[in-house]
């Protein structure tokens, strides 16, 4: 029986991926900050779903992850779907710093713990939800786009480290566009995707061991053109709230 740990399983993409893995017979540990949402997932398959309340911004989260892995009985896949983001053109420091605590500090804490576990075990698969926002610095969301670029680079570095140390650790960096989750709130976004088909694409990408996956085709085209825009022009684009 395959075993996975999903961080950020209480809603959105993390929850949908958890549902698909449960349906496929996986044994999974589900973690997040909302206990009620985790317990609802457990009712689907009580013998195969193990909940744990974990706040990744807290120092003890690394030990809690290790405890959850032990409770599940091991880990083949670590799936990181925990993140926050806000538009913050006013550069309110608390918003910027809270974003960094979750998307950088918390991300490092949990992904590094998973890496070290797989190093001891002899292999495994680390998959993270980053974003196409890491492609360019977006003026209305500075900390969000910067932290997503950080996540892309961190996974690149770990992939190289894994090869240097001759470890059998695979990586998948999943970069969605706009997905209808609590993160976006009530705002209207172009090319908005629903969580269920996004999760299905993710699970297929994990099965195919893709290294980087931009979801979906429209966003792959968008990112292609974003990368062609020179810095002087990007800085003058009228991106608004």
Active site residues: 144
| Tokens at 127, concatenated | 């998959």
CA gap 125, 216 in Å, rounded: 22
Classify the C-alpha dihedral 23-26-27-29 as positive or negative.
Answer: negative
CA distance 127 to 119: 15
DSSP secondary structure code for residue 179 in this structure: B
**Which two structure tokens, joined as six digits, stand for 19?**
């549902």
Q: Outline where the chain has alpha helix (H).
A: 12-23, 35-42, 61-72, 93-100, 107-121, 142-164, 195-207, 217-228, 231-234
Q: Which residues have C-beta within 8 Å of that of residue 232, sequence separation ≥ 6?
A: none
State how far the Cα of 66 lies from the Cα of 115, in Å rounded to an integer.
Answer: 12
Q: What are the beta bridge partners of residue 40?
A: none
């Amino acid at each position: 029986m395959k075993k996975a740990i999903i961080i950020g399983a209480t809603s959105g993409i993390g929850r949908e991926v958890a549902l698909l893995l449960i349906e496929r017979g996986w044994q999974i540990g589900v973690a997040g900050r909302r206990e009620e949402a985790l317990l609802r997932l457990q009712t689907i398959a009580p013998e195969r779903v193990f909940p744990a309340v974990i706040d990744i911004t807290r120092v003890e989260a690394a030990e809690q992850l290790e405890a959850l892995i032990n409770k599940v009985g091991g880990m083949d896949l670590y799936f990181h779907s925990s993140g926050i983001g806000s538009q913050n053109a006013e550069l309110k420091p608390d918003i910027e710093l809270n974003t960094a605590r979750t998307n950088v500090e918390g991300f490092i804490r949990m992904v590094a713990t998973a890496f070290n576990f797989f190093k001891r075990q002899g292999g495994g698969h680390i998959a993270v939800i980053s974003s196409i926002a890491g492609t360019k610095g977006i003026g209305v969301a500075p900390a969000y786009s910067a932290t997503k670029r950080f996540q892309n680079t961190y996974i690149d570095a770990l992939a190289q480290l894994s090869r240097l140390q001759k470890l059998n650790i695979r990586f998948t960096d999943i970069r969605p566009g706009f997905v209808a989750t609590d993160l976006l709130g009530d705002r209207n976004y172009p090319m908005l995707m629903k969580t269920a088909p996004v999760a299905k694409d993710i699970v297929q990408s994990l099965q195919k061991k893709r290294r980087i996956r931009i979801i979906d085709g429209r966003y792959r085209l968008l990112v292609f053109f974003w990368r062609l825009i020179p810095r002087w022009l990007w800085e003058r684009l009228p991106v608004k709230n």
